[in-house]
Amino acid sequence: MSVKHAFYAQSGGVTAVINASACAVIETARRYDDKIGKVYAGHNGILGALREELIDTSLESHETIGALLRTPGGAFGSCRYKLKPIGESEAEYRRLIEVFRAHDIGYFFYNGGNDSMDTALKVSQLSEQMGYPLTCIGVPKTIDNDLTVTDNCPGFGSAAKYLAVSTKEASHDIASMCDTSTKVFVMEVMGRNAGWLAAAAGLAARQENDPPHIIVFPEIPLNRERFLQKVKETTEQEGYCVIVASEGARYEDGSFVSASTTVVDSFGHQQLGGVAPALCTTIKQELGYKYHYAVADYLQRSARHIASRVDVEQAYAVGKAAVELAVTGRNAVMSAIIRESNAPYRWSVGEASLDKVANFERKMPMDFITEDSFGITRSCREYLEPLIEGEEYPAYLNGLPRFARLKKVMVEKRLNKPFEL
Amino acid sequence: MSVKHAFYAQSGGVTAVINASACAVIETARRYDDKIGKVYAGHNGILGALREELIDTSLESHETIGALLRTPGGAFGSCRYKLKPIGESEAEYRRLIEVFRAHDIGYFFYNGGNDSMDTALKVSQLSEQMGYPLTCIGVPKTIDNDLTVTDNCPGFGSAAKYLAVSTKEASHDIASMCDTSTKVFVMEVMGRNAGWLAAAAGLAARQENDPPHIIVFPEIPLNRERFLQKVKETTEQEGYCVIVASEGARYEDGSFVSASTTVVDSFGHQQLGGVAPALCTTIKQELGYKYHYAVADYLQRSARHIASRVDVEQAYAVGKAAVELAVTGRNAVMSAIIRESNAPYRWSVGEASLDKVANFERKMPMDFITEDSFGITRSCREYLEPLIEGEEYPAYLNGLPRFARLKKVMVEKRLNKPFEL
């Protein structure tokens, strides 16, 4: 019996370390060449399978695959494409399995978040029904840190470290200028529904009254008056005020903070502004303080240059474990990080049944937020601190990080029809 | 004859490495204790002298002073405060000299940009007239890179490196997602009048068609139609388009790009938007592309975690040289960086007469910008590349950089009157 090949795909928003998981899947599969043939990677994620666009990773050198460990973004391409619910249309799932069958693929490694784990589960179930059983293994990834069962999600730790470091540095900047210049600095961070990243920026504060002084979480409706009062008190006491704000923050009436300002272009077209300019406009209007703001946006999830060593190690470990789970006969599971102790921080990799992960969302515990709603508690800090531990720097050439450049040779198509999305 | 003390002040916008210059001034002065007594640092820059708020750096340990080498921001406080033209009012200059005389200060080290060099020059001239001659030495600093004589300005190289690295990383992110998601990414960078920082972000591109694909310089009026055409062509050819935009960019009619959108809050108050959202709104409107943007703001000038080694070394070297110039009897000069060769990059430190630096502004040479106005030329690259060379990482504790924490003990006041600004 010839060995089956493997299909690996990256899904959803990319991270600074998702390629470390890709590196681990490919390197580990190469070590199990008695059980796994080649690893094909989906060009632009799951769309690569639907379109039969498979990248043959066996044609990439060991050095190039190794360089994935230190390359941000999704090296094979990712996508925001959610398969339709299986009840509505099985066509997409059937197409996937047809492509897998045509290319002798027996393993499906899906590197993503909640939605992806749901897809992996469905593919696993349907493949069985269609008489072409597949081993479907999830590899966790998301800067949102909202997967269940796993203690934390690879990708989050590096974004968290970037935000904590950047907030600390910018705070030193404004602290030195506040006497005659900017009094308020707002750092806008990602997080539509959960405040994990905003909380992480809070790690910049080590002692009482250290910045950031105010964190605006999406979980807690913002009371405009209490917020302004806190900005005023802080600025009067400290000379300046540093605020971290989640993009998804809302006022108590349910409206997005970002919606409180409107951007109007010269043609009169309107669109929502961001949280940071919205808060700054309010502060300027009500308190008169000079402000600056930064919008980290993609920088926070691609900042491989300041990746957390723990995060890189865990991203690699979950990719490696996924392949090991597959070759030992496990199916419909996701590799997961288990926290064994906080101090010293110890962790291991276990597994989670896909049906325990698919479509569930982990919320930030409410006891991670201080009673005044503007800070993080000791238990939050104890949870977060180990995740930003250690530095794992990329190699540099002429002042810039060296990232992997892949050849991306496509496997010849075997199906005679394109797939219409 | 007892030795005179020295006064050191930080001026204007701070940088990731201005404290490296402070470190050098203090450490070097300590080595010349036969000529220089204590180094007093101005609390919040020159205001510290006007208000007689002098920080006694002799009470800080060697370890703390050493830690300044890796601490961003202005450790003693900086300020945006320009002394009045000497013809209008000599009162401020006279006050400075009174304070210096009261504290037996014979050396004035001023760490700043054009304005500061002008102030240092005036103080030098007036002190002579007032019969209390001072040795006035400038220490160059500005992320704007617009001082004359010196080949480049400490602070610029680290901001440049941060922007080049971040642009490269964010480009990897959008490249992997563009098939189904964001097509356009805009990175907003500082630079009201000069495009040095925007040009530096262009270093992220190493090969033809590498991102960033478009740089919007403040020097070149933006033709809206040509810009949109280039965005369209790039997106159609590459699948995505990365744009770097200077905050000071203007359209051909002279209006700021940032003014093409207006932010209106819920009370109807208006204010200017930023360049990035303005360009994105235009692109969305005219081409329909999904976009993301980042505003680096203070992060770019405080990012000590990714400082350029060359920049740190030069910031230290100009501080050290300033003290050496002072003790060898030079006056009314600024230490300056001299480029000796490009490849290999060799530099040394010389001096510039303050009257050759004060109030002059170095523009970016027009042959640094490509003919289509959207890129940097080979000569620009040859100038910039050495400045981002090498990494000089801070020490970390529990995942965060360790920055200096100063005691900041104030010298007892000797004048019996406060100064009214």
Angle among Cα B404, B405, B407 to the nearest 5 degrees reads 130
Q: What is the pLDDT of residues A367-397, one digit of tens each?
A: 999 999 999 999 999 999 999 999 999 999 9
Contact A163, A171 (CB under 8 A): no
DSSP character for A413?
Answer: P
Min Cα separation B335/chain A (Å)? 24
CATH of domain A4-142+306-359+389-401: 3.40.50.450
Q: Give the separation between CA B7 and CA B109, rounded to whole angstroms.
A: 6
Mean pLDDT of A332-343: 96
Q: Which CATH class is domain B156-302?
A: alpha beta
Query: pLDDT tens digits, residue range B222-266?
Result: 999 999 999 999 999 999 999 999 999 999 999 999 877 665 555
- For residue A172, what are the CA distances in angstroms to A5, A251, A292, B159, B329? 52, 29, 14, 15, 35
Identify which has the larger pLDDT, A205 or A269. A205
Q: In this predicted structure, what is the pLDDT of residue A263? A: 59
Q: Looking at the complex, does the CB of residue B284 fall below 8 Å from at least one CB of chain A?
A: yes
Per-residue pLDDT, B86: 79
**pLDDT confidence of B90, banded at 50, 70, 90?**
confident
Whether A152 has its CB under 8 Å from any CB of chain B: the answer is no
10 Å CB burial of residue B390 (0-12, 13-18, 19+) is middle
Question: What confidence score (pLDDT) does residue A89 get?
Answer: 79
Q: Is the dihedral of CA A212, B271, A247, A296 positive or negative?
A: negative
Q: What is the mean pLDDT of residues A152-162?
A: 98
Q: Which of A300, A320, A304 is nearest to A391 (CA)?
A: A304
Contact residues on chain B for A260, CB-CB shorter than 8 A: 265-266
**Higher pLDDT pick, B269 / A129:** A129
User: Does A44 contact B179 at a Cβ distance shorter than 8 Å?
Assistant: yes
User: For chain B, what percentages of helix, strand and coil (3-state, to nearest 5) are there?
Assistant: 40, 20, 40
Structure-block tokens of residue B222: 């933006």
Can you give the pLDDT at residue A318? 98
Quick one: which of B300, B319, B336, B346 has its CA closest to B69? B319
Interface test with A, best of B71, B262, B299 (most A CBs within 10 A): B299
Nearest CA-CA partner of B326 in B137, B120, B110? B137
B chain contacts of residue A273, beta-carbon cutoff 8 Å: 263, 273, 277
Distances (CA, A) of A102 to A5, A42, A134, A414: 11, 15, 13, 6
Q: What is the mean pLDDT of residues A25-49?
A: 97
pLDDT (average), residues B398-419: 94
Identify the closest residue of chain B to A171 by CA–CA distance: B73
Task: Tell me if A165 sits within 8 A of B400, measured CB to CB.
Answer: yes
Does residue A258 surpass a pLDDT of 90? no
Residue positions counted in chain B: 421
* Domain residue ranges in chain A: 4-142+306-359+389-401, 156-302
pLDDT given at position B270: 53
B398–A393 C-beta distance less than 8 A: no
Interface of A with B in 39-68 (CB under 8 A): 44, 47
Which residues does A118 contact at the CB level (< 8 Å), separation at least 6? A354, A358, A359
For residues B202 and B376, is the Cβ–Cβ distance under 8 A? Answer: yes
Asked if A263 and B267 come within 8 Å (Cβ–Cβ), the reply is no
pLDDT for position A2? 75
Query: B306 and A306 in contact by Cβ < 8 A?
Result: yes
| Of B173, B285, B393, Cβ closest to residue A301 | B173
Q: Chain-centre distance of CA A299, in angstroms?
A: 12
Tokens representing residue A352 in the block: 């989670």
B4-141+304-359+390-401 topology per CATH: Rossmann fold (3.40.50)
